[in-house]
Amino acid sequence: MTALTPQNTPLLGFIGFGAMATRMGVHLRNAGYGVIAYTPSGKSGDPAVEILPTARAVAEKADVVIACVPDDEALEASMYGENGALVGMKAGGVLLNTSSVSPEATDALLAAGRAKGVTVLDAPVSGSTPEAEAHALVILVGGSVEDVANAAPIFDTIGKLTIHAGPSGSGAKLKLVVNGIMGAGLTALAETVSYGLASGLDRSMLFDALDQVAVISPHHKRKLRAAKTGDFTSQFPSRLMQKDMRLLVDAIARQAIPAPTLAGALQVLSLGRHAHPNDDYSAAIAIMERFAANDA
């Protein structure tokens, strides 16, 4: 397979073109790739990108297809059926699935691609919209060494680092691990902040102190700073964080591994999804603050 450079694969077709994909698309266009897309709404955040009416139409026209959809259901709707991307792809084509979906959906797409002679790489990304904009995403890829190397020019264009997680399916599994740590860390912060406030600590002092200690990751410090000011502008919406934790808890249960911490975190994130589905998932901190104020 020839490396997927702008010279060899000039046109990339996105299936799903939301907040993350539009930012990836900017980097790819700046590198010399052409970009087209399909979105269920028919709208694009980038007026320079042509939006086609179906996923199939994108796949028929593009040299490489990049899926970037929110969940298993959206992946199924856009990949299969008479207007799905797989129908439009030809043998020898390449499909890069950057979506965060279940291992089962990942395996099903791989099998469907193989049946058509299409190379499918599961390549979810670690990072939110600030990382996507700053070319700071980490791409977590499952697939053969050769296929991952051939796709490297695209991955290098949208991210700062590509991790080859192992054979097909490994990228999707690693993404669940990463997001599980992220979600559980945020819920631990939300609960301990709630305790600090309920016990009488000054709110500004508490948030400022937590911003200085080494035990909190830079990602979660960013969430704390947003929560301090009540700014829950979405970088990673609550509905998607809860979805990823739900997929992880389900996957762990299938392995019969006890994970009470993650199961508990899912409940807090479910509160966040219920109350603030489209706000950033750090809104869970505000929910727990209301408990501290006896205003839940």
Interval 205-236: pLDDT, tens: 999 999 999 999 999 999 999 999 999 999 99
- Answer yes or no: do 190 and 153 share one domain: no
Last residue within a domain, chosen from 109, 139, 167? 167
**What CATH number does the domain containing 127 carry?**
3.40.50.720
- Answer yes or no: do 163 and 184 share one domain: no
Evaluate whether 283 touches 276 at the Cβ level (below 8 Å).
Answer: yes
Indicate the pLDDT class of residue 72, thresholds 50, 70 and 90. very high
pTM attached to this predicted model: 0.95
**What CATH number does the domain containing 225 carry?**
1.10.1040.10
- The CA-based angle 268-270-274, given to 5 degrees, is 120
- Answer yes or no: do 111 and 233 share one domain: no
Residue 294, pLDDT > 80, answer no
Catalytic hit among 175, 221, 228, 243: 175
Structural domain boundaries enclosing 155: 11-167
Residue 221 catalytic? Answer: no
Percent of the chain with pLDDT over 90: 94
Q: What is the mean pLDDT of residues 250-261?
A: 97
- Answer yes or no: do 124 and 228 share one domain: no
Structural domain includes residue 185:
yes
